[in-house]
Structure 1
Amino acid sequence: MANDAVAGNAFRVAPAQPGATDDPVRGVLAAYTRDLIKGVDETLAAFLAAEVDALTEIDAAMGGFAATARDCVLAGGKRVRPTFAYWGWRGVAGGDEPLATVLPALAALELLHTFALVHDDVMDASDTRRGLPTAHRAAAARHRAAGHTGDPDRYGEAVAVLIGDLCMVWADRLMAHATVPPARLLDVRRCYDRMRVETVAGQFLDVLGEHDAANWSVDRALRVARYKTASYTVQRPLLYGAGLAGADPDSPLIAAYTRYGLAVGEAFQLRDDLLGVYGDPAATGKPAGDDLRTGKPTALLMLARQLATPAQRRILDRAGAVTAPHEMARLAELIQDTGAATRVERMISDRVGEALAALDTASIDGTARTALTGLATAATARRA
């Protein structure tokens, strides 16, 4: 599949067989994905409209704040987590179960994702997200425009933290709208809670790594990828979806989803590591070299240090201390020269292979199997 892996808000599904560019199965899966994304977006819009109205009754300013949170949720994105959760559900339920029963629970994952993004942008001091100012930068700009007193940047960060907190609560509320048996929803909630805890653990390790780079390693960078990204992007959404369908937690299918999700999720983060250095800002919506600017100890940077000559390592040690575009371009070129980028590409390919092998170990609905096969590639060969 070509690197153009994103179409609108949805992943394009790779052909079921190499070279099958006109495979009709691909068109069927794309239709499923379009319907899912449309359903998620409509569910979010309806839910958030009611929530914004309720908060506006508290105070007009509160309504404006809630509308800002709503806009963060609806501002685009690939809807990756609901997509994996859907196919996790479909792989168990088959094609006869109505999507409407679980759609609120699938859409809730997008609210959880917004919580994580808004807080992550504050922690990383990021300026843009999806080509637009991040929540804290936008709030700071409104503070300045209104002529409010106090530090606008501090205000913006406080508002963004609250936006993230609100999205976390909204996710809980929307999940409860799923019309599945209460006992099953409680089991799903346990998976959801574990996903949230693992996300916080990964985020903490990510923050720690930036302040303790001397004690970091490739293994610890991969641990961050496992908990910050793989858990809540692929692995737990798949298991969450299977739980919504009432899957037996001890079944071979759950073991296959666990193995597949970890492999694709890690590959997803490794692709992010490469995009953080070599990505096109027009596609990623973020400035090129952000990870080099902050000195984030990604697997890519850790591998580069491991493979570098002493002279190269001295230059790499300046990551996090350079801001000029030409200096960051030099660092990016040097990382390429060490062979680290090529090694990461190989790690991505190996993990995709591991994920596809996992799918062969269990009985899965045929359409879901084909979709998950395509998603393993689409999620890891993307440009944004």
Structure 2
Amino acid sequence: MHHFDADLPSEIDRVLRDFLRRAGEPIRRTEPTFGPAVDTLSDFVLGGGKRLRPTFAWWGWRGAGGDPGSAEAEGVLRAVASLELIQACALIHDDVIDSSDSRRGSPTVHVAFATRHAREQWLGSAESFGRAAAVLIGDLALAWADDMFSECGLPASMLAPARPAWRAMRTEVLAGQYLDVHTQATGDSSAEAALRVDRLKTAAYTVQRPLHLGAALAGAEQPLIDALMEFGGDLGVAFQLRDDLLGVFGDPSVTGKPAGDDLREGKRTLLLALGLSYAEQQGRDGERKVIADAVGDSRLTDAEVDDVRQALVDVGAVAEVERRIEEMTGNALASLKRAALAEPAAQRLTELADRATRRTF
């Protein structure tokens, strides 16, 4: 087995570390004040994460015939690693949108910069400064993602077929983010709205487009890309549904976020949509009120989170989400078989599907 395949996350980290160092050097020299922002972005990108998006992209490339021993492999590694910079932008901005205090057990970027402002006793509002810094650092991540992708060292003939996937993914993740805040603002608690967000914000961005991007870098024909997109659509939604369950039932030491944070932030997940509709259908007004009152309550206590958990179990919402995860994962694996990918990509993607949807609470 080639070492790129065997130790992909550390290879992705290697090229990210190299890029971030080179990208940051010129602005550090000309404007040292910006140094802490550059450091924060580098630390954020290199400080954790599952590297899911580059991993799906890599195995899309390998499955479509990409050779890890070829001269292009290092360039492909850089191209797919650039997805982590888009992810950094999304997470940093997401934390601002959701007013989250912590991520991966550390203060979020906007909180860290607000704390710095307060410590230094600078002028104006510490919170406003923190938010502004986080928006700008997220923007820097997005700009650098484009730089890393376009300067990855691959010939234009290889990059050109992958650009439609790159363009679509960036637009879709932003549309998904907007749809997410829109459903919260309008109070749309329908299952349909939750699934639309899941398809754009998670399925397309986390699985489908990375697979599309990788396969396109290998020059894949449309039928193979279509099969991978079907696989990625179903798997991505199943992955998000598992994440929704973890957001309510997960162990904070595993998820990196306080238990019940999704409830406090008012996220309109399929789990909550089903909980509300099932409670209504069953005439269980008590359970419906417990769930409805919890959504968006920033002062929700752990005991109240426990009450919501019990209500979601009692009305059958948890069992239905588990059933859908199983069904969609099965559909995804059937699409993967139809794709007839080169090995070991099919096996690795099957393992990834299992890992992304496995129950861990």
TMscore range, shorter length: over 0.9
Counterparts of 1:227-266 in structure 2, within 5 Å, are 227-248=200-221, 250-251=222-223, 253-266=224-237
Q: State whether structure 2 residue 297 is matched by structure 1 residue 347.
A: no
- Contact 1:277–1:291, Cα closer than 8 Å, also in 2: yes
Q: 1:33: how far off?
A: 5.0
Structure 2 match to 1:90: 62
Matched residue count: 353
CA 1:281–1:33 in structure 2 vs 1: closer, same or farther (change >3 Å)? farther
Q: 1:34: how far off?
A: 4.8
Query: Which residue identity lines up with residue 228 of structure 2 in the other structure?
Result: Y
Q: Give the one of 181, 187, 194 matched to 1:207.
A: 181
- Contact 1:210–1:294, Cα closer than 8 Å, also in 2: no
Structure 1 match to 2:291: 316
SS at match of 2:7: helix
Q: 1:180: how far off?
A: 2.8
Cα distance in 2 for partners of 1:34, 1:381 equals 22
Structure 1 match to 2:266: 295
Cα distance in 1 for partners of 2:112, 2:359 equals 28
When the two chains are superposed, the root-mean-square deviation of aligned CA atoms in Å is: 1.6
Structure 2 match to 1:4: none
Cα distance in 1 for partners of 2:355, 2:59 equals 14
Counterparts of 1:1-384 in structure 2, within 5 Å, are 34-95=6-67, 96-98=69-71, 99-213=73-187, 215-248=188-221, 250-251=222-223, 253-308=224-279, 309-319=284-294, 320-321=296-297, 322-381=299-358, 383=360
Deviations 1:254-278 (A, max 9, x none): 1210110001110111011001101
- Per mean C-alpha deviation after superposition, the further-off stretch among 173-182 and 144-153 is 173-182
Q: 1:364: how far off?
A: 0.9
Runs of 4+ residues over 4 Å off in structure 1: 31-34
Consecutive unaligned residues in structure 2, runs of 5 or more = none
Q: TM-score, normalised by structure 2?
A: 0.94
Structure 2 match to 1:19: none
Cα distance in 1 for partners of 2:26, 2:311 equals 54
Deviations 1:178-225 (A, max 9, x none): 333313312312211101111111111110111112x33101101100
- Contact 2:290–2:307, Cα closer than 8 Å, also in 1: no
Consecutive unaligned residues in structure 1, runs of 5 or more = 1-27
Q: 1:131: how far off?
A: 1.3
Deviations 1:32-83 (A, max 9, x none): 5552111110111111112222111222111121111111111111100000
Higher relative contact order (CA 8 A, sep 6+): 1
Q: Which has the higher helix share?
A: 2
Query: Which residue identity lines up with residue 238 of structure 1 in the other structure?
Result: L
Same amino acid, percent of matched pairs: 45
CA 1:60–1:383 in structure 2 vs 1: closer, same or farther (change >3 Å)? farther
